[in-house]
Structure 1
Amino acid sequence: MLRITLRDGEKAIVNGAVLRAVGRTQIAVENQVSILRGREVMRPEEATTPARQLYFAAMLAYIDPEGRDAHQNAVVQLIGVLIAAINTPEGRDICIRFAHDIAQGDYYKALNIARELIAIEDALRSAAPQAA
């Protein structure tokens, strides 16, 4: 059983349905569902870098089972872009972990790993102007 707590007004997506908490709310999930809390949801306009685009595509694959094939095709393309862009052993290892979780259908776990890739990408981007 999974327990989540939502703050007043916080949104969550459960199997594609958007829910909004009225007051502080606790939810006990007793079976297998696709669930994302509002802070885990990325809007399309936030997918501005390859790692963020990867997160967004994986998120859509997680919450949109009907469109999963198309979203997974985007994930495969983006993982190739990221492996080339994050040319470090750590980055490659994280990309491999991400790809493994996607292949296993563990989208929620893959989203956590995608956040690691976003952090690495951000660090590389912030270091790039200093190196120039």
Structure 2
Amino acid sequence: MKNTLKITLKPGEKIYVNGAVICADRKVSLEFLNDVQFLLENHVMQPEAARTPLRQLYFIVQIMLMSPQEAEDARAMFRKSLPRLIDSFSSATIRADLKQIDQLVAEGQVYDAMKMLRALFPLEDKILGATPLPFRSAPQPQLLAGE
């Protein structure tokens, strides 16, 4: 039997499941009994936070997860952006991780790709001398088309 995944949401917290936005009106626990594509609200990046190359790539990958109707266009943008991004970094760590992220996206493991990208943000900030911007800096619904 597959492992189940249990997530607890606070009142007003959102989760994105297979492209649907779910908002809890009270504390609630969700148990996923099968494979599902989901994204917790605190991992959602606003467009204005996508101001560095890796954050822009994260935002593209995020679209694949949050908006299935736009996933194909986002994948095309990812495929176009990734080789240039790999070439732009001299860091062997970032280059190797970007190749792994490419593999994860190709295998449909979008959430894992996003997790790897988030882990690279501090290194990118150090390289670029950038000041980190929080993921959530504005109300979020404008990200999903058709809402």
TM-score of the pair, normalised by structure 2: 0.79
Flag the 1:65–1:73 CA change in 2: closer, same or farther, 3 A: same
C-alpha displacement at 1:65, in angstroms? 2.4
1:64 deviates by: 2.3
Matches of 1:105 and 1:23, distance apart in 2:
32
List gaps (5 residues or longer) in structure 1. Answer: 128-132
Q: Which residue of 2 aligns with 1:10?
A: 13
Which residue of structure 1 lines up, in the alignment, with residue 45 of structure 2?
A: 42
Deviation at 1:120, TM superposition (A): 1.8
Which of 9, 22, 25 is 1:22 aligned to? 25
Query: Which structure exhibits the higher relative contact order, with contacts defined as CA atoms closer than 8 Å and separated by 6 or more residues?
Result: 2
Which range is displaced more, 69-78 or 98-107? 69-78
Aligned-pair Cα RMSD in Å = 1.6
Superposed, 1:53-64 pairs within 5 Å as 53-64=56-67
Which amino acid counterpart does residue 8 of structure 2 have in structure 1? Answer: T
How far apart, in 1, do the equivalents of 2:98 and 2:38 lie?
23
Q: CA deviation at 1:114?
A: 1.1
Aligned partner letter, 1:50: P
C-alpha deviation, 1:80, in angstroms? 2.2
Structure 2 gap ranges (5+): 131-147
Amino acid at match of 2:66: I
Q: Quick check: 1:61–1:107 contact (8 Å CA) kept in 2? A: yes
**1:11-66 deviation per Cα after TM superposition (whole angstroms, max 9, x unaligned):** 11111111112222211011222211100111222211111110011011122222
- Equivalent position to 2:94, from 91, 99, 104: 91
TM-score, length basis structure 1: 0.87
CA distance in 2, matches of 1:47, 1:126: 15
- Structure having the larger proportion of residues in helix: 1
Which of residues 114, 119, 123 in structure 1 aligns to 2:122? 119
How many residues are matched? Answer: 127
8 Å CA contact 2:104–2:112 kept in 1: the answer is: yes
